Amino acid sequence: MNSKQTSKQTLRLKLEGLTKRFPGVLANDNVSFAIQSGEIHALLGENGAGKSTLVKMIYGVMQPDEGKIFWDGEQINISNPKQARALGIGMVFQHFSLFEAMSVLENIALGMDNKISKKQLEKQVHQVMQTYGLSLEPNRIVSTLGVGERQRIEIVRALLLNPKLLIMDEPTSVLTPQEVEQLFEVLRKLAKQGCSILYISHKLDEIKQLCDNATILRGGKVVGECDPKKETSKSMAEMMIGASLHAIKKNKSKQLGDVGLAVHEMSVKGQGDFGVSLKNISFEVRHGEIFGIAGVAGNGQNELQAVLGGEVVLDDENIIKINKIPVGSMRANERRKQGLCAVPEERHGHAAIGEFSLRDNAVLTARNRQNMVRAGMINANKAKAFTTAVIDEFNVKATGSGAIAGSLSGGNLQKFIMGREMLQVPDVLVVSQPTWGVDAGAAAAIHQALIDLAAGGCAILIISQDLDELLALCDTLAVINEGRLSEPKKTEQMSIEEIGLLMGGVHGANQAPAELQNEAAG
């Protein structure tokens, strides 16, 4: 049921001339739009367009310098998030506000403004999960969870408030197609009940499928509004970036080289009580090849990334080889000297240190391959030049190489991290969630850069929950489930149905595609 079909709509939220300035930056410039009750309203814009700043003002995290906010027809000042929640405004942030050493239930409790017993809270959490089909283990420690599972905590926490307006910032960036459809059912149900939803996403096919209206920001200003169902994904992307969007160019007749990355019968015990054990994983990635690994979050992707990147080392050096050189017992820095570059899933605190400058973050991984160190001293000019090249080539919106990483929007930091690794021209690149949280134009640029890097001879492994991304980029595809890897196949030989079954637990290493198709049909 379309949310426009709610029997009685009223004006829920209205913004008039909202403006927010930071030193040297006009983040929001006279922004005005309105949302009706029961409406699913998209907020679109490229990275750095001002979307996150705007919703933080609606949620009370920041205060506008100018402008007015009206709630249910009355002008209000939302001084803090507690006041926003009291009004009925809930928010699911793109970057999770979770304490990793605490359990799922403890994190949810921290988001509750009213006192409630543990038993009663656990009961309410189970009710929300059952009502909306959200799966979580309340007693698991957050540090053991994947990104998709952490996102579910934020969603459950917001739904416990029975919101009248739910703000969602990139909610599907790490979900499978099945999980996305589940979430959409949740949102449609909420809208039918009269809840308004302000939805931020760079996945424009989702906007077309879900949203009633869209407001488009560019450079902090409203540059247009549209009905997403009457637009194409391309037309909306071009409104966002203010230019034509170019399709990625892929060489379908390319010749692959020797094996760049080889993994042979790798089994690794999971860390802690909830870590996923890797079980007898074997695959090869050739120079010039893009090899994709799909899967539902929390099925061993982080563990696989950690082992391949050298954060976890093995006793047997021969289990992992780079260019035929055994590296299984080498640590991350030693593997980088052999030609490996890597991008982990979590950009904040793992791929980059938020308190460091972009230049210092570049030094962390590129110092050897870019010859930044001599006689134990860092060459500041080389570090700055390399950082500036990353900023320029990947269109990172930052004040320069000295900008603090934590000051960048999530999408711009992702562009910087991807550029930092790719401009080192590695022999082997292992990357998890390459376009998490970036806009359509930036995603296309990153995809093209990956294709060009492979064309230059790099062996690339992409771990992603974005099936569209994997199908568009990869020559070969496998699926990870509960720490097991399915038999790798040429991407054109795999159907969405087969991939979905493999993601759901039909491991398929010894199962013919016909059998999988029969199971999907039956």
Res 219 pLDDT > 60? yes
Whether the CB-CB separation of 427 and 260 falls below 8 Å is answered with yes
Cα gap 372→400, rounded to integer Å:
18
Using 50, 70 and 90 to split pLDDT, how confident is the model at 439? confident
**155, 362, 444, 465 from 422: Cα distances, Å:** 34, 12, 15, 21
**Hey, what are 487's tokens?**
């038999």
Res 250 pLDDT > 60? yes
Instruction: For residues 392-415, give the mean pLDDT.
Output: 91
Cα gap 69→19, rounded to integer Å:
11
Residue type, 210: L
Residue with tokens 């049909």: 521
Instruction: For residues 15-27, give the mean pLDDT.
Output: 92
- Which residues make Cβ contacts (< 8 Å) with residue 136, sequence separation at least 6? 104, 125, 129, 149, 152, 153, 156
Res 514 pLDDT > 50? no
Looking at residue 175, its pLDDT comes to 66
DSSP for 54-72, written as a single string: HHHHHTTSS--SEEEEEET
Residue with tokens 């939803």: 197
Whether the CB-CB separation of 89 and 58 falls below 8 Å is answered with yes
Whether the CB-CB separation of 394 and 383 falls below 8 Å is answered with no
Using 50, 70 and 90 to split pLDDT, how confident is the model at 509? very low
Partners of 357 in the β-ladder: 404
- The per-residue pLDDT of the chain, averaged, comes to 88
Instruction: For residues 55-59, give the mean pLDDT.
Output: 95
Using 50, 70 and 90 to split pLDDT, how confident is the model at 157? confident
The three state secondary structure string of 338-372 is CCEEEECCCCECCCECCCCEHHHHHHHHHCCCCCC
H or E stretch including 32?
strand 25-36
Buried (b) or exposed (e) across 304-320, using 16+ Cβ within 10 A?
Answer: bbbbbbbbbbbeeeebb
DSSP for 150-175, written as a single string: HHHHHHHHHHTT--SEEEEESTTTT-
Cα gap 172→177, rounded to integer Å:
9
Q: DSSP state, 398?
A: S
Instruction: For residues 38-57, give the mean pLDDT.
Output: 92
Instruction: For residues 271-300, give the mean pLDDT.
Output: 90
H or E stretch including 418?
helix 410-422
Looking at residue 506, its pLDDT comes to 56
Determine the Cα angle at 408 with ends 404 and 413, to 5°.
100
Region of 504 (left: φ > 0; alpha: ψ -120 to 50; beta: rest) is: alpha
**102, 405, 408, 420 from 354: Cα distances, Å:** 22, 5, 9, 15
Looking at residue 8, its pLDDT comes to 59
Q: Express each pLDDT in 337-381 by its tens digit.
A: 999 999 998 888 899 999 999 999 999 999 999 999 988 899 999
Res 3 pLDDT > 50? no
Residue with tokens 């988001």: 111
Least confident of 13-27, 170-184, 438-452: 170-184
Q: DSSP state, 120?
A: H
Res 518 pLDDT > 60? no
**Hey, what are 324's tokens?**
């035929």
Residue 504's CB is within 10 A of a number of other CB atoms, namely 12
Cα gap 443→441, rounded to integer Å:
5
Res 64 pLDDT > 90? yes
Using 50, 70 and 90 to split pLDDT, how confident is the model at 46? confident
pTM of the model: 0.69
Percent of the residues in the chain that have a pLDDT greater than 70, as a whole number: 91
Res 282 pLDDT > 50? yes
Res 513 pLDDT > 60? no
Using 50, 70 and 90 to split pLDDT, how confident is the model at 41? very high
More confident residue, 516 or 455: 455
Using 50, 70 and 90 to split pLDDT, how confident is the model at 440? confident
Q: Express each pLDDT in 160-212 by its tens digit.
A: 888 999 999 888 765 666 677 878 988 998 999 999 999 998 888 889 999 99
Residue with tokens 């037309």: 235
Res 87 pLDDT > 50? yes
Residue 450's CB is within 10 A of a number of other CB atoms, namely 24
Instruction: For residues 120-142, give the mean pLDDT.
Output: 86
Query: In whole angstroms, how large is the CA radius of gyration of the chain?
Result: 23
Q: Express each pLDDT in 286-295 by its tens digit.
A: 999 999 999 8
Residue type, 139: N
H or E stretch including 208?
helix 204-210
Res 299 pLDDT > 60? yes
Instruction: For residues 48-67, give the mean pLDDT.
Output: 93
Cα gap 473→508, rounded to integer Å:
22
Residue type, 140: R
What domains does the chain contain, in order, with CATH numbers? 3-241 (3.40.50.300), 248-339+426-522 (3.40.50.300), 348-422 (no CATH)
Q: Express each pLDDT in 458-473 by its tens digit.
A: 999 999 988 888 998 9
